[in-house]
């Protein structure tokens, strides 16, 4: 089961910042938070990930609360091409030193002109 | 473009048939993952290979099998196909697939859309 909770849908005006929340209250100390998005039926696209500190790259910023129980993905200036399903995933360590990504239902972000 | 390639893009076949989906990972990536995405189930992890060896199994049916070859490309074989196997099948790759040490990011291919009639 996915260890995250996300709102099923959100709207954002074009050019404004999109703030996508995610709750992961059962996250363990060594588990990373990953964000992916999927535009229509394309392959999921990696956006960003983090452990404790806030992270920023050319696509987005990731803000993780100090207790690590929730995070927010920020798209600073949303465009129509950012309309997609956004998945917040806790990377769970599994056996044999490996890990798994468990995708939930995500948040359907609609960017409105 | 993630650098992961998948063929074919679309596949239409009949129930009871067998098909093979192919995946080439990004250059330098040793680990390959297969996922299935159907309308009612979302994105489900099937299986992972690392440098030719099976590393992890998810919700993969016994009718499905996979392998990773010495050149690191991978194939997913689906047999005795049923209508319910119609789905998008994604391959992803990452450098190591290991949990420890540096973070490891999976990059997904464009997928193969399988339709079973």
- The C-alpha atoms of residue B66 and residue A47 are separated, in whole angstroms, by 28
Interface of A with B in 40-99 (CB under 8 A): 41-46, 49, 51, 87, 91, 93-99
- Asked if B108's CB is within 8 angstroms of A45's CB, the reply is yes
**How near does any CA of chain B get to the CA of A105, in Å?**
7
> In the predicted model, is pLDDT for residue A44 greater than 90?
yes
Cα(B30)–Cα(B27) distance, integer angstroms = 9
Is B115 an 8 Å CB contact of chain A? no
Measure B39 CA to nearest chain A CA, in Å. Answer: 11
B104 in Cβ contact with B95 (< 8 Å): yes
The Cα A59–Cα B115 span in angstroms is 34
Chain B neighbors of A101, CB-CB under 8 A: 45, 106
| Whole-number pLDDT of residue A1 | 53
Please report the pLDDT score of residue A53 as a whole number: 86
CA distances to B16, B35, B48, B50 from B98, in Å: 36, 18, 11, 9
Q: Given pLDDT bands bounded at 50, 70 and 90, which one contains residue A69?
A: very high
Q: Do B48 and A32 touch (CB under 8 A)?
A: no
Kindly write down the DSSP assignment for every residue of A28-63, as one continuous string.
Answer: -TTPEEEEEEE-TTSPPEEEEEESSS-EE-SS-EEE
Q: Which residues of chain B have pLDDT under 70?
A: 100-102
| pLDDT at residue number B76 | 98
Distance CA B15, CA A90 (A): 36
Mean of pLDDT values over A45-73: 95
**DSSP calls for B9-68:** SEEEE-TT--EEEEEEPPTT--EEEEEEEETTTEEEEEEEEETTEEEEE-S--TTEEEEE
| End-to-end Cα separation, chain B, in angstroms | 31
Is B49 in CB contact (< 8 Å) with chain A?
A: no
From the CA of A38, how many Å to the nearest CA of chain B? 10
């Amino acid at each position: 089961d996915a260890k995250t909770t996300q709102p099923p849908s959100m709207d954002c005006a074009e050019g404004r910042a999109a703030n996508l929340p995610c709750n992961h209250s059962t996250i363990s100390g060594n588990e990373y938070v990953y964000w992916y998005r999927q535009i229509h039926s394309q392959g999921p696209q990696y956006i960003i990930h983090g452990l404790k500190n806030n992270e920023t790259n050319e696509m987005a910023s990731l803000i993780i609360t100090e207790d690590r129980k929730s995070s927010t993905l920020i798209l600073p200036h949303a465009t129509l091409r950012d309309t997609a399903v956004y998945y917040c995933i806790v990377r769970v360590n599994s056996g044999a030193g490996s890990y798994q990504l468990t995708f939930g239902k995500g948040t359907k972000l609609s960017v409105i002109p | 473009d993630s650098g992961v390639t998948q063929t074919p893009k679309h596949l239409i076949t009949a129930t009871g048939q067998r098909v093979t989906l192919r995946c080439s990972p990004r250059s330098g990536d040793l680990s390959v993952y297969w996922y299935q995405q159907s309308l009612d189930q979302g994105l489900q992890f099937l299986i992972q290979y690392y440098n030719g060896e099976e590393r992890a199994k998810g919700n993969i049916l016994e009718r499905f099998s996979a392998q990773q070859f010495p050149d690191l490309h991978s194939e997913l074989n689906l047999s005795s196909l049923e209508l319910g196997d119609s789905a998008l099948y994604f391959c992803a790759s990452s450098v190591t697939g290991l949990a420890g040490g540096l973070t490891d990011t999976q990059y997904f291919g464009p997928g193969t859309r399988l339709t079973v009639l």
